[in-house]
Amino acid sequence: MTRILLLGGTGDALKLARELGPAHVYSLAGLGKVPDDLRCSVRVGGFGGSEGLARYLASERIGLLIDATHPYAAQISANAAHASRAAGVPCWALRRPAWQPQAGDDWRMVGDWDELIDALAPFRRPLFTLGREPLAHLGEIPPHQFWTVRCLDGPADTQRARILAARGPFTLDGERALFALQRFDVVVSKNSGGGATEAKLEIARERGLPVVMLRRPALPAVEREFAGVAELLDALRAWLGEHGIE
Ligand code: NAP
């Protein structure tokens, strides 16, 4: 039982996957790019809930489950914790610390889509950086608003919305230029944490713009939690060394 199953879909998870040798498995939901240059195997698609994941852990003789999914991917994290208990396989998780508001920040915390739309009512030009969810609401844009939705991919622009297909990391200079050009008056964000998409918050601060921030979902406790990739990598190398595998 010396195989690792790494649940990913983030830049941090990809860094971990690059450390894994051919015995191990990197798993993706299938929404984004599938890397083709890893030494470990890559599988794509759901497991069929926590029961399916528990069955996979047993049938594939997995000895360690690592949850390095995005902090808002709450379902797969809950499934991972549940399946690890059911299968008796330890689960480690990367739990990126949330961003914290700094002096001068105007964050307006919301819990769901309805609260988010209410919080946006006073504004005209929101920048959405939440992923694909706003795409399902393009037909509901209030008459006084023009939306910019930044996500991995999406439909063509409409008269009421611009879809910016883009993948992080985003630089300060790039964000500064985008904000100046598009004259956003509010930013809509998840509290993803990490450095890859943090520049937008700094530019919002520079320009005195409010940020409507979707609260983080609760995540389950697991055997070991790590705040950063470097810390998890050290533990992973130690685990691989103890088991005499790469
Ligand atoms: P989610 O709601 O927690 O998961 C929905 C279902 O997708 C899970 O129940 C599972 O299906 C499947 N799934 C999710 N991650 C998987 C993985 N790594 N390998 C295999 N199956 C997986 O997840 P989500 O919010 O839709 O996010 C999907 C993926 O995108 C995640 O892997 C996450 O790391 C990545 N991502 C999410 C966000 C975000 O904001 N949510 C941002 C960046 C990247 P079954 O129940 O059938 O197993």
Residues 49 and 21 in one domain: yes
Output DSSP code: residue 18. Answer: T
> Ligand 1 in contact with 27 (CB < 6 A)?
yes
Share of the chain above pLDDT 90, in %: 95
CA–centroid distance, 31 to ligand 1, in Å, is 8
Which residues touch 231 (CB under 8 Å, ≥6 apart)? none
Residues 157 and 230 in one domain: no
- Could you give the CA distance from residue 94 to residue 70 in angstroms, rounded to a whole number? 9
Predicted local confidence at residue 245, as pLDDT:
81
Which residues touch 146 (CB under 8 Å, ≥6 apart)? 124, 125, 160, 161, 162
> Ligand 1 in contact with 228 (CB < 6 A)?
no
- Mean pLDDT for the chain overall: 96
- Could you give the CA distance from residue 238 to residue 226 in angstroms, rounded to a whole number? 14
Residue-wise pLDDT for 158-183, tens only, equals 999 999 999 999 999 999 999 999 99
Residues 234 and 181 in one domain: no
> Ligand 1 in contact with 217 (CB < 6 A)?
no
List the domain range (segments joined by +) for residue 224.
3-97+217-243
- Could you give the CA distance from residue 33 to residue 42 in angstroms, rounded to a whole number? 12
- What region, left, alpha or beta, does residue 27 occupy, with left being phi > 0 and alpha being psi -120 to 50 degrees? beta
pLDDT at 1 over 80: no
CA–centroid distance, 29 to ligand 1, in Å, is 5
pLDDT at 127 over 80: yes
For 242, the enclosing helix (H) or strand (E) is helix 229-242
> Ligand 1 in contact with 232 (CB < 6 A)?
no
Identify which of 69, 72, 219 to mutate to test ligand 1's pocket (most ligand atoms within 8 A of the CB): 69
Residues 202 and 232 in one domain: no
Predicted local confidence at residue 207, as pLDDT:
98
Residue 110 near residue 188 (C-beta atoms within 8 A): no
Kindly state the average pLDDT of the residues 185-208. 97
Which residues touch 152 (CB under 8 Å, ≥6 apart)? 31, 32, 131, 132, 165, 166, 167
Kindly state the average pLDDT of the residues 55-75. 98
Predicted local confidence at residue 2, as pLDDT:
86
Residues 78 and 166 in one domain: no
> Ligand 1 in contact with 42 (CB < 6 A)?
no
CA–centroid distance, 84 to ligand 1, in Å, is 17
Domain total of the chain: 2
> Ligand 1 in contact with 152 (CB < 6 A)?
no
Kindly state the average pLDDT of the residues 99-111. 97
Predicted local confidence at residue 32, as pLDDT:
82
Residues 72 and 141 in one domain: no
Residue-wise pLDDT for 66-83, tens only, equals 999 999 999 999 999 999
Residues 142 and 205 in one domain: yes
- Could you give the CA distance from residue 86 to residue 222 in angstroms, rounded to a whole number? 13
> Ligand 1 in contact with 146 (CB < 6 A)?
no
CA–centroid distance, 197 to ligand 1, in Å, is 19
